[in-house]
Amino acid sequence: MAMLTPLLLLLSLLSSATATPTPTPTVCQYTLYPSFCRSSLPITNSSANVFDYGRFSLRKSISAATKFSTFITKSLTRSSTLTTPAIRALQDCHYLAQLNIDFLQNTLQTLAKPQTALSPLNSQDIQTMLSAILTNTQTCIDGVQATSSSWTSKNGILAPLANDNKLFSVSLALFNRGWGHPNNKTKSFLPRKKHIGFHNGRLPLKMSEKTKAIFETVGKRKLLQADDQVVVSDIVVVSQDGSGNFTTITEAIHIAPNKSEAADGYFMIYVTAGVYEEYVNIPKNKLYLMIIGDGINQTVITGNHSVVDGWTTFNSATFIVTAPYFVAVNITIRNTAGAIKHQAVALRNGADLSTFYSCSFEGYQDTLYAHSLRQFYRECDVYGTVDFIFGNAAVVFQKCNLYPRQPMSGQFNAITAQGRTDPGQNTGTCIQNCNIQAAEDLGSTKTYLGRPWKEYSRTVYMKTFMDSSIDGEGWRAWSGEFALNTSYYAEFENSGPGSDTRERVDWEGFHIINATEASNFTASMFIPGDEFIPQTGVPYDGGL
């Protein structure tokens, strides 16, 4: 039998669960940090099993996240001694720490119940949250490191963050070991029988005939397929000429209901044609929100925040969404800072089970920040230069157009920079049936499919057309040998002059895969597409 690499050994250990008593040293071998795990989980109960260790680790993780959030709050009270970039990095960290506390508490509440078995869907939900916790912490680390090094060492931010990250990794590994379903993909889930349609076969009576007409002309146009119908609870109109309910998108979001449920239907915001110079932020409590515009380059949301101008990458975005089940259709989101301003995000998406359809994202470096959780993009356009699709979500792009454009002098283009930091995370970027084509301004700049931003970076291209702008090597190193063996980069049945794999990199992490392996990254398997996309009315392909 061939020897397993350390990574494969770890993954194999994560793939089975046991309820029998397990000593701490044995449990900790399932994690990336065995020594740290042994010192952090001093359980002396001889009857303790992997579930007991997992719950203990989660409780300790909640304590650590709460302590860090308090520390950041105190640090911000002394903001008069900090630079603006440092203050903004701390504000990001505080926000992310609060998200982590919520995710950890929700996880422990689910796992504290007497039963130890979870359905595959519930298991993936928890794995997704624990994956996002690591992503959030790493985002905080990255933001802090980008500020003054003397400030970070003086205030002791990075050391506790590094320990917290190890603890969260241990919690994820123990969850995967005890409750995980690593071999059960979402395609095998029992379908939910909830009817998708209008309330009582029509829109709610409180809607005016004008509102109903808007839904029928905008909502159904190019949105619904076959006999699907979208449940809509209410519609408001945003128009700059004052003819609608509001003149800004932010005003409309503010009056959207909080914590809606699927049965309530979507709160739809119809944004008429125009250029909206505003920074849109859709918070986590605005569930089931749908924004529909008049079309790409018709309804445009634009901003110009950038790292060069003092913003963090995380908070440079023109459009930010964290509300689960968000849907956007027929809009353009821009960041006009330009290549000279380096990182400047158009969209930052941390919304679980979110969907973008027929949208355009325009920027240069770091255009589309698929930050975390599970996301789907269909028939969208993405323009950019360096790492213009990046982040650590579990994300599928289908039938999208990716346009590398001209970067700054001396730079090269990388379409993706995926940020997976832990092999237990269920994250990665899948680009399926898409089209890669040079933007009109792209000259002879070398363009690559991606580069490994983090150690376990994972990106797959499937059945995608690649024009001659793609360099023959395909992939580009981040720094020296970093992550070349631990990343997972794969290609499957791509076409076009840039798809020739004969000169591709010879990294251990690069693979040419078959249909069986490629199917693991489809919308039905990699993200639970069959569970959340049908209710949006957006077309999608569940398989290859």
Q: At 379, which amino acid appears?
A: E
| CB 363, CB 345: distance < 8 Å | yes
Helix (H, G, I), strand (E, B) or coil at 448: strand
Please provide the distance, in angstroms rounded to a whole number, between the alpha carbons at the two ends of the chain.
33
Residue spans of beta strands (DSSP E) within 304-406: 319-321, 327-329, 332-335, 347-349, 354-357, 360-362, 368-370, 374-378, 381-384, 386-391, 394-398, 401-404
Cα–Cα separations (whole angstroms), residue 83 to 72, 137, 242, 309:
15, 21, 40, 13
| CB 528, CB 124: distance < 8 Å | yes
Quote the CA–CA distance of 315 and 302 in Å, as a whole number.
14
| CB 539, CB 378: distance < 8 Å | yes
**What string of DSSP letters covers 161-222?**
HHHHHHHHHHHHHHHHHHT--TT--GGGSPPP----S-GGGS--TTS-HHHHHHIIIIISTT
Helix (H, G, I), strand (E, B) or coil at 224: coil
Compute how many other C-beta atoms are within 10 angstroms of the C-beta atom of residue 146: 17
Q: What is the 3-state secondary structure (H, E, C) of 460-498?
A: EEECCEECCCECCCCECCCCCCCCCCCCEEEEECCECHH
Q: At 271, which amino acid appears?
A: V
Tokens of 181: 């379903």
| CB 488, CB 450: distance < 8 Å | no
- 142 as an active site residue: the answer is no
Compute how many other C-beta atoms are within 10 angstroms of the C-beta atom of residue 148: 14
Catalytic residue, candidates 387, 441, 506, 541: 387
Helix (H, G, I), strand (E, B) or coil at 416: strand
Listed in sequence order, the residues at least 6 apart from 149 whose beta carbon sits closer than 8 Å to its beta carbon are none
Please report where in the chains the tokens 């949105």 appear, as a residue.
223
Listed in sequence order, the residues at least 6 apart from 383 whose beta carbon sits closer than 8 Å to its beta carbon are 360, 361, 362, 363, 367, 403, 405, 439
What angle (nearest 5°) sits at the alpha carbon of residue 456, between those of residues 519 and 180?
60
Give the residue numbers marked as catalytic. Answer: 387
